[in-house]
Structure 1
Amino acid sequence: MPLSSSNAPHRLSPRPSQCGLEAFLDHYGDVFEHSPWVARHAWESGLDATHDDPSVLAEKMGQALREATPEEQLAVIRAHPDLAGKAALAGDLTASSKSEQAGAGLDQCTPEEYTRFEALNDAYRETFGFPFVIAVKGLDRHAILDAFAARLDNAPAVERATAIEQIVCIARFRLIAMSERD
């Protein structure tokens, strides 16, 4: 059974299984950061009533990302902003990223924490060639900094797979939030 943030079943509205491509992309195309092709691929591979559940739809879309070419996967990973980075400070995040980062307290970092985030962002990008991605829901900035430092020791292939799974988790959280607003 799909996991959700409560015991009540969640359903998306409009129901993905009943959407044409244009309506589906209008409602769900931004779930994966600046990457509507993920939603398009999921829709084109076929949706049924089970995909009206946000967790099931997130997994379907996640499968599209997992099956993508390495270049497509990297483009999705690279579409994510640095955590507590320059885009956040400049106010250039998507609404979802801004809300998610604020929910983890990243907009309340001390100057020392911002400096640490900046150093870790730079080291991570230099090591892996893409930004550090983590589903921040339920985490605070201290837990995020700890995960950041620990994941710098991962092998590149492990970290790339971890980033993809974190992106799928972010999508699941976003879709659940959408279902709770409906």
Structure 2
Amino acid sequence: MGDMVFGGCFDGRPVRMMWRTGAAAGSVVIRCDPPDAPAPELFRRVPGDGRRPRWDGPLVSCDTHLWVAADATRRTELREHADVLVARMPVPLSAAGRRVRALLAAYPGCLVAAVPDVGRGCVAGVRDRTGAVGCLRATVRGPAAALVHPQPVASVLHAWVASGASCRSLRSLALVLRR
């Protein structure tokens, strides 16, 4: 598949993730591009000069989705409409998998949920066509103190599945940080 660019959100900065299947590997660039809306003031402004980054590679898929903080105390009604739910508080690895499954069970319209774990990783789950949940643990490549943030992981998984690929085909997913 090669390199891909997916719309997502990670503190307004583009980030890169590496993916690997049994037969191929590539990278994904995740950007924060708020969609055009009847009420643009509802979306935060993209930092920078407002121009979209130049991309010369093949565009395999482009994905736009609504992600909502799963543990937010305000605007909780947005969880009902979320494509992606993202928890922010790291929990032990076994608890992260349980939390992902619980979020997807509680919000049947949500396709992807992600929860950071205390081991610097992130567990993300995807609901398939039958309703079954498959989970993947993403890791980080970069500084030893770095954590995998759940937003880009969830964005990549949503785009991956929305483009028609199976979550089960992914063998690894890693956030790449500069040293």
- Do the two structures share a fold, i.e. TM-score over 0.5? no
Q: Structure 2 length as normaliser, TM-score?
A: 0.29
Q: Over alpha carbons, which structure has the higher Rg? A: 1
Q: Structure 1 length as normaliser, TM-score?
A: 0.28
Higher RCO (CA < 8 A, seq sep 6+): 1
Which is helix-richer, 1 or 2? 1
